[in-house]
């Protein structure tokens, strides 16, 4: 089921991103009255074809959903009737051709802005950035972090959740800058600490070691082992567990937190557990057998119960980042710009060797992340789509032949020299582009398989 969910999420996600990208080319081409012959989502054999519009444009969904294209009337690809010469792509002014090619990546950025606007209007919930522990002699300890401090801002940017903190620190780390971090202690007193992030590499960030390298630990949500909701027809319901039951012990092992309870359940699939519970001031004993499920290739136990979380507990640990529509739009533009610059910086560091090529991801990793995002919830999926849309926009603007950026380079040369790049030079460029793209795809797929096997 995990594989199927990932595959479906990948197909839907990539379908949306490709369609929006190609729709950018389509819209601007139609605006400049270029005749569109085919709008294809995917490559290879068509599995769905429909014709629409006065030009009978062919809309096609192909078998390989790893790209798409808009085929326009073009004299370089065949004879064009005299009455349609004014509608062929290559006959349009240079600036119009430039706009048509540029529109695809631009629409990727527009999609990201739309998605982030929805995300920030709906609101993003996350853990408050409260420091649980600070490792002695660590970078964080030397900078002045102490336990129970709450991070208020990074370089003046308000950080209501840990996600905001990490995003800001990643951006500063990639730039190799020193971050000014405002923290607040339990008495509400604020002060600034300075953190030199130049010693942290991009590879360590990619491995999820940013906070570990700094030496700070997120404060854990301390949830009491009290039963909240119980899933119908679950092992928990079958055992006789009820709402508000407090777990006292499992197999005579004292339970003090919900995390301890969950850990025992997860490592005990198909094993009978003797549970001591407190119910209405009376201690009872029940037998419970967690069901066996497969998660990330491992067998774990599950019983289908959720904890009781009071409003006060929730508000003390979680924050909601939410804005009115106009502020959400401004925040979306800022976030899209920030992520675009970050993507370019990371790519630049990979090219010059300051970051490993293991940071490149292929379709397998993207499918996995798509499935995980979809399983987490609506906001997580939209965030995933926005990030990938930005990545597609940036990658397509790279000056590599076959990509939109390569065509834009040709047009810039044509503008400077006053004549188009010769066919022979374009053929050489295409050959170079094929080699580069195949190399990148090979590295990305290799990374995917290493992650899958690792």
Express each pLDDT in 106-159 by its tens digit.
999 999 999 999 999 999 888 899 998 999 889 999 998 999 999 999 988 899
* 315 and 193 both lie in a single domain: yes
Arithmetic mean of pLDDT over the chain: 88
N-to-C CA span, the chain: 20
Q: What is the CATH number of the domain that holds 208?
A: 2.30.42.10
**Do 165 and 154 meet the contact criterion of CB atoms below 8 Å apart?**
yes
Kindly state whether residue 14 falls inside one of the protein's structural domains. Answer: no
SS3 377: coil
* 245 and 347 both lie in a single domain: no
Supply the pLDDT for residue 365.
73
Kindly state whether residue 200 falls inside one of the protein's structural domains. Answer: yes
* 317 and 385 both lie in a single domain: no
**Do 57 and 432 meet the contact criterion of CB atoms below 8 Å apart?**
no
Dihedral (Cα; 408, 410, 415, 419), 10-degree rounding: -150
Kindly state whether residue 252 falls inside one of the protein's structural domains. Answer: yes
* 341 and 433 both lie in a single domain: yes
pTM of the full structure:
0.81
Kindly state whether residue 81 falls inside one of the protein's structural domains. Answer: no
**Ranges of H-type helices in 377-422:** 378-396, 404-417
Q: Of 240, 270, 305, which marks where a domain is finished?
A: 305
* 341 and 293 both lie in a single domain: no
Which tens digit of pLDDT belongs to each residue from 31-70?
Answer: 999 999 999 998 888 888 999 888 899 999 988 777 888 9
What secondary structure letter does DSSP report for 196? E
Q: Of 305, 335, 368, which marks where a domain is finished?
A: 305
Q: What is the spatial distance between Cα 87 and Cα 14, in angstroms, rounded to a whole number?
A: 31
Q: Which domain holds residue 211?
A: 124-223+309-321
Kindly state whether residue 430 falls inside one of the protein's structural domains. Answer: yes
**Do 170 and 210 meet the contact criterion of CB atoms below 8 Å apart?**
yes
Kindly state whether residue 357 falls inside one of the protein's structural domains. Answer: yes
Supply the pLDDT for residue 85.
87
Supply the pLDDT for residue 229.
87
Supply the pLDDT for residue 181.
93
Please report, rounded to a whole number, the percentage of residues in the chain having pLDDT higher than 70.
98
Q: What is the spatial distance between Cα 323 and Cα 122, in angstroms, rounded to a whole number?
A: 8
88 is catalytic: no
Supply the pLDDT for residue 220.
81
Q: Which of 430, 434, 344, 438 is nearest to 391 (CA)?
A: 344
Which tens digit of pLDDT belongs to each residue from 276-297?
Answer: 999 988 999 999 999 988 876 6
Supply the pLDDT for residue 1.
60
Q: Which of 103, 107, 109 is nearest to 72 (CA)?
A: 103
* 370 and 344 both lie in a single domain: yes
Q: What is the spatial distance between Cα 187 and Cα 434, in angstroms, rounded to a whole number?
A: 60
Per-residue confidence at 2, pLDDT binned at 50, 70, 90? low
* 315 and 336 both lie in a single domain: no
List CB contacts of 119: < 8 A, sequence separation 6 or more.
Answer: 332, 379, 382, 383, 386
Per-residue confidence at 376, pLDDT binned at 50, 70, 90? confident
* 212 and 237 both lie in a single domain: no
Kindly state whether residue 2 falls inside one of the protein's structural domains. Answer: no
Q: How far is CA 367 from CA 5, 260, 370, 451, in A?
A: 9, 32, 5, 13
* 314 and 343 both lie in a single domain: no
* 377 and 285 both lie in a single domain: no
Q: Which residues pair with 48 in a beta bridge?
A: 61
Domain count across the chain? 3
Of 2, 22, 84, 219, the active-site residue reads 22
Higher pLDDT, 359 or 434: 434
Higher pLDDT, 96 or 358: 96
Is the backbone of residue 423 left (phi > 0), alpha (psi -120 to 50) or beta? alpha
* 422 and 338 both lie in a single domain: yes
pLDDT at residue 313 greater than cutoff 80 = no
* 444 and 384 both lie in a single domain: yes
**Ranges of H-type helices in 180-324:** 202-206, 210-214, 235-239, 258-266, 311-317
Helix (H) or strand (E) run with residue 318 in it: strand 318-321
Query: What mean pLDDT comes out for the span 162-173?
Result: 87
Kindly state whether residue 272 falls inside one of the protein's structural domains. Answer: yes
């Amino acid at each position: 089921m995990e594989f199927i969910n990932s595959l479906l999420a990948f197909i839907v996600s990539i379908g949306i991103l490709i369609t929006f990208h190609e729709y950018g080319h389509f819209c601007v081409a139609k605006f400049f009255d270029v005749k569109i012959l085919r709008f294809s989502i995917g490559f290879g054999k068509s599995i769905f074809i429909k014709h629409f519009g006065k030009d009978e444009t062919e809309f096609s969904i192909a078998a390989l959903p790893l790209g798409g294209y808009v085929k326009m009337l073009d004299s370089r690809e065949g004879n064009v009737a005299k009455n349609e010469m004014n509608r062929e792509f290559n006959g349009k002014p240079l600036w119009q051709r430039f706009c048509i090619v540029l529109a695809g990546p631009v629409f990727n950025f527009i999609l990201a802005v739309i998605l982030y606007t929805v995300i920030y209007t709906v609101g993003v919930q996350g853990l408050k950035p409260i420091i649980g522990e600070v490792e002695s002699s660590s970078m964080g300890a030397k900078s002045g972090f102490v336990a129970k401090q709450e991070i208020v801002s990074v370089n003046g940017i308000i950080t209501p959740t840990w996600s905001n903190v990490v995003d800001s620190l990643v951006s500063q780390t990639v730039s190799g800058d020193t971050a000014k971090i405002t923290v607040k202690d339990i008495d509400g007193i604020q002060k600034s600490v300075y953190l030199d992030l130049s010693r942290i590499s991009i590879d360590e960030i990619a491995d999820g070691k940013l906070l570990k390298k700094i030496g700070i630990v997120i404060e854990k949500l301390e949830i009491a082992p009290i039963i909240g909701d119980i899933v119908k027809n679950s092992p928990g319901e079958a055992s006789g567990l009820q709402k508000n039951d407090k777990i006292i012990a499992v197999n005579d092992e004292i339970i003090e937190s919900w995390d301890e309870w969950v850990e025992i359940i997860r490592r005990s699939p198909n094993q009978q557990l003797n549970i001591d519970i407190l119910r209405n001031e009376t201690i009872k004993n029940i037998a419970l057998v967690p069901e066996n499920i497969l998660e990330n290739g491992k067998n774990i136990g599950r019983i289908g119960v959720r904890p009781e979380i009071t409003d006060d507990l929730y508000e003390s640990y979680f924050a909601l980042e939410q804005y009115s529509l106009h502020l959400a739009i401004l925040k979306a533009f800022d976030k899209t710009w920030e992520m675009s610059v970050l993507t370019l910086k990371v790519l630049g560091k990979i090219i010059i060797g300051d970051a490993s090529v293991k940071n490149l991801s292929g379709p397998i990793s993207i499918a996995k992340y798509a499935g995980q995002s979809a399983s987490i919830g609506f906001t997580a999926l939209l965030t995933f789509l926005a990030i990938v849309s930005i990545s597609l926009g940036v990658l397509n603007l790279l000056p590599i032949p076959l990509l939109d950026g390569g065509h834009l380079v040709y047009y810039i040369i044509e503008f400077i020299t006053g004549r188009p790049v010769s066919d022979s030079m374009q053929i050489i460029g295409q050959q170079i582009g094929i080699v580069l793209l195949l190399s990148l795809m090979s590295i990305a797929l290799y990374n995917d398989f290493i992650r899958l096997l690792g």
